[in-house]
Amino acid sequence: MTEDNRFDDIPERALAWHTAGRRAALATVVETWGSAPRRVGSQLAIAGDGEMAGSVSGGCVEGAVIVEAMEAMEDGQSRVLEYGVSDGDAFAVGLACGGTIRILVEPVGGALSANVLTDLVAARAARTPVAYVTDLEQGGGHLAHEGFEQRFRMDRSGVEEDGSTFVAIHNPPLRMILVGGVHIAQALVPMARIAGFDPIILDPRESFANAARFPDTRIVNEWPDEGLDLIGMHSRTALVLLTHDPKLDDPALLRAFESPVFYIGALGSTRTHAKRVDRLTAAGITQDQIARIDAPVGMDIGASGPAEIAVSILAQVIHSLRRG
């Protein structure tokens, strides 16, 4: 499964409908209470002819939202809607009990500027983290790339403490680059994919990194520094080094230090890492940069064997992503 298959295209659909002259509106979940069907930030795009994409409630209130969206497209104004999802409706979409949701509806070209939406779509295409910030009372919105670091890290949209400012986080898909097509990587790839990461195997040794060993996985048979340049690394990238071979690991580390990746982990014993630190220090790498490396890689859970080591690595990656 590629990144694009998991990367929703709701803003893109809304922009395409607007550009084609079909009119469009975006509905976004801004707050929830109880067991609401969809998380904050979930979106539904509605076209002027009634076509829709996405979901804000798993089907419970979409019909009512579409009616409001049609009216919003007529007057150009945003509106905030609140619905109580009954226990019966919640059960129908797989929940044990009901909840309450607030939904922001914004017509494209009205309350939601077409230029802002165009810039949002461009940032998403470039895999650049971006926040859409709007005032629920005043309407209108703008994009921000800074100022919401905790929300970006937690991938958490929501209403700010003032009760009026809503921040919708648009993060690029999670990515995990594994340097070294070894046994641990074979166990880690499917686990990472289940956890929502797009795994990529980077190894110049085709005997290790090939489709037979890693089916349905992107494989880059390049030297690590060149491969990382080809793949690209953003703030939603975890880099896991599994070769414990300086010829492969060190070039990757030098690239990683220059990047915004949120996690760098390297396989090897404490003694192996000490030698790694000596090499990097001799190469002029600062102690702060070296401190970005989690080594030996993985949480200390007493792991034994490739599968358990893979579990420990994935746990550490998620801990770094969510807790910093």
Sign of CA dihedral 307, 313, 317, 323: positive
Q: Look at residues 170, 188, 219 and tell me which one is the last residue of a structural domain.
A: 170
pLDDT digits (tens, 9 = 90+) for 3-24: 443 458 999 999 999 999 999 9
Other CB atoms within 10 A of residue 213 CB: 18
Q: Quick one: 158 and 181 in the same domain?
A: no
The tokens of 224 are what?
Answer: 């690590």
- Top pLDDT among 224 and 59 is at 224
Confidence tier at 322 by pLDDT (50, 70, 90): confident
Q: Quick one: 163 and 255 in the same domain?
A: no
Residue 289 backbone phi and psi in degrees, to 5: -70, -45
Q: Quick one: 184 and 162 in the same domain?
A: no
Choice among 83-92, 101-110, 283-292 with the minimum mean pLDDT:
83-92
Give me the domain span that covers residue 117. Answer: 3-170
Residue 170 clears pLDDT 80, i.e. is over it: yes
Pairing of the two strands 130-135 and 141-144: antiparallel
The number of folded domains in the chain is 2
- Residue pair 103/29 in contact by the 8 Å Cβ criterion: yes
Residue 29 confidence (pLDDT): 94
Average pLDDT, the chain: 91
Confidence tier at 85 by pLDDT (50, 70, 90): low
What value does the mean pLDDT take over residues 63-71?
A: 94
DSSP classification of residue 173 = P
Strand residues in the chain grouped as ranges (E): 24-34, 43-47, 52-54, 79-85, 99-107, 130-135, 141-144, 158-159, 165-170, 175-179, 198-202, 218-220, 237-241, 263-266, 293-294
Give the predicted TM-score (pTM) of the model.
0.74
Pairing of the two strands 263-266 and 237-241: parallel
CA atoms within 13 A on the CB side of 272: 17
The H or E element that residue 15 is part of is helix 10-19
Residue 145 confidence (pLDDT): 94
Q: Quick one: 80 and 162 in the same domain?
A: yes
Choice among 148-152, 235-239, 251-255 with the minimum mean pLDDT:
148-152
Q: Quick one: 147 and 179 in the same domain?
A: no
DSSP classification of residue 235 = T
Q: Quick one: 241 and 197 in the same domain?
A: yes
Pairing of the two strands 218-220 and 198-202: parallel
pLDDT digits (tens, 9 = 90+) for 22-62: 999 999 999 988 766 678 999 999 999 999 999 888 777 88
Q: Quick one: 125 and 76 in the same domain?
A: yes
Residue 180 clears pLDDT 60, i.e. is over it: yes
What value does the mean pLDDT take over residues 224-228?
A: 97
Residue 83 confidence (pLDDT): 84
Residue 1 confidence (pLDDT): 39
Q: Quick one: 193 and 232 in the same domain?
A: yes
Q: Quick one: 131 and 223 in the same domain?
A: no
Confidence tier at 235 by pLDDT (50, 70, 90): confident
The tokens of 194 are what?
Answer: 């289940």
- The CATH number for 258's domain is 3.40.50.720
What value does the mean pLDDT take over residues 292-318?
A: 96
